Amino acid sequence: MGQLRDTMMHDLELTGYVAHTRLLYLNSIRDFAKFFRRSPSEMGAGEVRAWVGHLTKEGGIGPQRIRQHMAALKFLYTKTLFKPEAVSFLSWPSDPQTLPVVLAADEVQRLLDALVKPKYRVFFTTLYVTGLRVSEACQLETRDIDAARGVIHVRHGKGKKERFVMLSPRLLAILRAYWVLERPPAPWLFASAAKSDRHLNPDTARRAIRLAAIQARLDKKVTPHVLRHSFATHLLESGTQLRVIQVLLGHNTIKTTTRYARVSTELIAKTKSPIDSLKTG
């Protein structure tokens, strides 16, 4: 199993998978091998089918984690072991169609006010007014702030895709005041408190916003991604076109962005009802 793990790791690196995804895939294959107490190279479609059935019925995990297990199996058997027939039957389970959590503007303000440390207040302000993912914001460098053009260069987007997001004059002023106060070590805009040569850890940021939500007495489950949802929804409610929001968020397809139209209560409330055209007593 050790040699197979090394080979798969090499294949994952060559394909361009990030370290976090590589670890997830390798752990999935480790669990698969441990379940049957055999090397995956000695197994095929029967064992894969049984393993997926176990995960689905008894694994106690959600659709997203099952998809990760399936993706790991598919990569192993198609790219590393050259046995595509072992996974050709796999089809991804879909997530329940739930609406993303969105904060109202006053709730966003309460959340930001509850962040005592200036670094975290500025960090999450940046998240909200740009729609960045937490990992993207953590890896921002001072050179990414393009004041002349009024944009922020996102170099570490999902799938290694770069893009630009808007930099409002107000956010620029906030970032400049923060930089003067904190003097974060180069090149990071938001550096780790534990290791100054590294950027802010996303898990540290998640803990900070979770505590702030408690302090703000918000009755919603608040994560950094909730600020991204709120950014998109509030832009939509202010009249920004979906296509523009798609580009700002870095979505590959407009289909991903259209879900925000489903959660915009303001737009829903403004929609004219057919009853308004009826002549009723």
Give the residue extent of every domain in the chain.
Answer: 2-86, 105-269
279 included as an active-site residue: no
pTM as predicted: 0.68
1-59 per-position pLDDT tens digit: 689 999 999 999 999 988 889 999 999 999 999 999 999 999 999 999 999 999 988 86
Q: What is the pLDDT of residue 61?
A: 82
Higher-confidence position of 216 and 99: 216
N residues, the chain: 281
Residue 202 and residue 225 in contact, taking contact as beta carbons nearer than 8 Å: no
The Cα 87–Cα 213 span in angstroms is 43
Does residue 116 register a pLDDT over 90?
Answer: yes
Q: Which of 119, 228, 229, 234 is catalytic?
A: 228
Output the average pLDDT for the chain.
90
Q: Which of 49, 67, 158, 163 is catalytic?
A: 158
CATH architecture of 105-269: Orthogonal Bundle (1.10)
Q: Average of pLDDT values for 53-71?
A: 86
Fold adopted by 2-86: DNA polymerase; domain 1 (1.10.150)
Amino acid at 201: N
- Domains 2-86 and 105-269 alike in fold: no
For residue 124, how many C-alpha atoms fall within 13 Å in the half-sphere facing its CB? 31
22 included as an active-site residue: no
87-105 per-position pLDDT tens digit: 999 987 666 667 789 999 9
Higher-confidence position of 197 and 190: 190
